[in-house]
Protein backbone atom coordinates (compact mmCIF):
# COMPACT_ATOMS: atom_id res chain seq x y z
CA UNK A 1 0.00 0.00 0.00
CA UNK A 2 1.31 3.45 -0.88
CA UNK A 3 2.27 5.53 2.13
CA UNK A 4 3.01 9.24 2.41
CA UNK A 5 6.56 9.49 3.73
CA UNK A 6 7.61 13.07 3.07
CA UNK A 7 6.39 16.61 2.78
CA UNK A 8 8.42 19.35 1.09
CA UNK A 9 8.28 22.92 2.34
CA UNK A 10 9.75 25.83 0.37
CA UNK A 11 11.46 28.30 2.69
CA UNK A 12 13.76 31.32 2.65
CA UNK A 13 15.92 29.85 5.44
CA UNK A 14 15.72 26.05 5.67
CA UNK A 15 18.37 25.89 8.40
CA UNK A 16 16.33 28.27 10.59
CA UNK A 17 13.23 26.10 10.09
CA UNK A 18 15.23 22.96 10.87
CA UNK A 19 16.45 24.55 14.10
CA UNK A 20 12.84 25.37 14.99
CA UNK A 21 11.51 21.86 14.32
CA UNK A 22 14.40 20.13 16.10
CA UNK A 23 14.34 22.44 19.13
CA UNK A 24 10.59 22.66 19.66
CA UNK A 25 9.32 19.30 18.35
CA UNK A 26 12.35 17.08 18.86
CA UNK A 27 12.71 16.21 15.18
CA UNK A 28 16.09 14.96 13.96
CA UNK A 29 18.13 16.32 11.05
CA UNK A 30 18.73 13.48 8.57
CA UNK A 31 20.54 15.35 5.82
CA UNK A 32 21.70 18.66 4.37
CA UNK A 33 22.64 19.57 0.81
CA UNK A 34 22.92 22.80 -1.19
CA UNK A 35 21.19 24.80 1.55
CA UNK A 36 18.31 22.33 1.93
CA UNK A 37 17.74 20.40 5.17
CA UNK A 38 15.80 17.18 5.84
CA UNK A 39 14.25 16.51 9.25
CA UNK A 40 12.12 13.63 10.53
CA UNK A 41 9.94 12.64 13.41
CA UNK A 42 10.79 9.01 12.69
CA UNK A 43 7.70 8.45 10.56
CA UNK A 44 7.50 11.28 8.05
CA UNK A 45 10.41 13.22 6.57
CA UNK A 46 10.11 16.95 5.98
CA UNK A 47 12.28 18.39 3.21
CA UNK A 48 13.00 22.05 3.95
CA UNK A 49 13.93 23.39 0.52
CA UNK A 50 15.40 26.82 -0.17
CA UNK A 51 13.27 28.75 -2.64
CA UNK A 52 15.23 28.98 -5.87
CA UNK A 53 13.24 31.87 -7.37
CA UNK A 54 12.18 35.09 -5.68
CA UNK A 55 8.56 34.76 -6.78
CA UNK A 56 8.19 31.12 -5.75
CA UNK A 57 5.65 30.71 -2.98
CA UNK A 58 6.73 29.66 0.50
CA UNK A 59 5.03 26.79 2.26
CA UNK A 60 4.07 23.24 1.40
CA UNK A 61 5.18 22.48 -2.15
CA UNK A 62 4.52 18.75 -2.52
CA UNK A 63 4.34 15.45 -0.67
CA UNK A 64 5.79 12.05 -1.48
CA UNK A 65 4.49 8.51 -1.72
CA UNK A 66 6.57 5.40 -1.14
CA UNK A 67 5.28 2.50 -3.24
CA UNK A 68 5.89 -1.21 -2.88
CA UNK A 69 7.57 -2.49 -6.06
CA UNK A 70 4.62 -4.84 -6.63
CA UNK A 71 2.07 -2.00 -6.71
CA UNK A 72 4.11 0.36 -8.86
CA UNK A 73 2.90 -0.99 -12.27
CA UNK A 74 -0.76 -0.69 -11.22
CA UNK A 75 -0.32 2.87 -9.91
CA UNK A 76 1.53 4.00 -13.04
CA UNK A 77 -0.97 2.31 -15.39
CA UNK A 78 -3.95 3.91 -13.64
CA UNK A 79 -2.32 7.35 -13.70
CA UNK A 80 -1.53 6.95 -17.39
CA UNK A 81 -5.19 6.06 -18.11
CA UNK A 82 -6.12 9.42 -16.55
CA UNK A 83 -3.58 11.29 -18.68
CA UNK A 84 -1.40 11.87 -15.60
CA UNK A 85 1.60 9.69 -16.41
CA UNK A 86 4.46 10.23 -13.91
CA UNK A 87 7.67 11.78 -15.24
CA UNK A 88 11.32 11.79 -14.21
CA UNK A 89 12.12 15.03 -12.32
CA UNK A 90 15.73 14.88 -13.49
CA UNK A 91 14.44 15.82 -16.95
CA UNK A 92 13.78 19.28 -15.48
CA UNK A 93 17.53 19.79 -15.08
CA UNK A 94 17.35 19.62 -11.29
CA UNK A 95 20.63 17.70 -11.08
CA UNK A 96 21.34 14.65 -9.00
CA UNK A 97 20.22 16.03 -5.65
CA UNK A 98 16.96 14.07 -5.55
CA UNK A 99 17.91 10.93 -3.59
CA UNK A 100 14.39 10.07 -2.43
CA UNK A 101 12.42 10.44 -5.63
CA UNK A 102 12.24 8.40 -8.80
CA UNK A 103 9.32 10.08 -10.49
CA UNK A 104 6.94 12.98 -9.98
CA UNK A 105 3.25 13.21 -10.64
CA UNK A 106 0.15 15.24 -9.98
CA UNK A 107 -3.45 14.55 -9.11
CA UNK A 108 -6.38 15.67 -11.29
CA UNK A 109 -6.37 19.11 -9.60
CA UNK A 110 -2.64 19.68 -10.14
CA UNK A 111 -1.37 18.92 -6.62
CA UNK A 112 2.21 17.70 -6.97
CA UNK A 113 3.74 14.59 -5.43
CA UNK A 114 6.82 12.41 -5.68
CA UNK A 115 6.83 8.66 -6.21
CA UNK A 116 9.56 6.31 -5.04
CA UNK A 117 10.16 2.74 -4.01
CA UNK A 118 13.47 3.48 -2.29
CA UNK A 119 16.52 5.70 -2.09
CA UNK A 120 18.58 6.29 -5.24
CA UNK A 121 22.26 5.33 -5.42
CA UNK A 122 23.72 8.86 -5.43
CA UNK A 123 27.17 7.82 -6.67
CA UNK A 124 25.55 6.22 -9.70
CA UNK A 125 23.37 9.32 -10.14
CA UNK A 126 26.46 11.54 -10.19
CA UNK A 127 28.04 9.39 -12.91
CA UNK A 128 24.87 9.47 -15.00
CA UNK A 129 24.52 13.23 -14.55
CA UNK A 130 28.17 13.85 -15.53
CA UNK A 131 27.79 11.70 -18.65
CA UNK A 132 24.56 13.50 -19.58
CA UNK A 133 26.28 16.89 -19.18
CA UNK A 134 29.25 15.84 -21.27
CA UNK A 135 26.98 14.51 -24.05
CA UNK A 136 24.99 17.76 -24.03
CA UNK A 137 28.16 19.85 -24.23
CA UNK A 138 29.58 17.70 -27.04
CA UNK A 139 32.55 16.43 -25.02
CA UNK A 140 31.51 12.78 -25.04
CA UNK A 141 30.86 10.49 -27.95
CA UNK A 142 28.25 7.82 -27.44
Give pLDDT, residue 100: 62
Mean pLDDT of the region 98-127: 76
Spatial neighbors of 101 by CB under 8 A, at least 6 apart, are 64, 89, 114, 115, 116, 120
d(CA 13, CA 17): 7
Answer yes or no: are the C-beta atoms of 27 and 21 closer than 8 Å. Answer: yes
Give pLDDT, residue 142: 43
CA 6 to chain centre: 9
What's the pTM value of the predicted model, to 2 decimals?
0.69
In the sheet that holds 3-11, the strands lie side by side as: 28-33, 36-40, 45-50, 3-11, 59-66, 112-116, 103-106
pLDDT in tens, 123-137: 666 666 566 555 555
pLDDT in tens, 35-89: 999 999 999 999 999 988 888 888 988 888 888 889 999 999 999 999 999 998 7
d(CA 8, CA 116): 14
Answer yes or no: are the C-beta atoms of 71 and 49 closer than 8 Å. Answer: no
pLDDT in tens, 88-106: 877 766 554 556 678 899 9
Amino acid sequence: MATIRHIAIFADDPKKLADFYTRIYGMKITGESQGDVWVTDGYVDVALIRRKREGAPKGIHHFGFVLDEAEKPFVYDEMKKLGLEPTDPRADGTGVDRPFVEDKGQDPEGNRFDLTSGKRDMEEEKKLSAAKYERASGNLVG
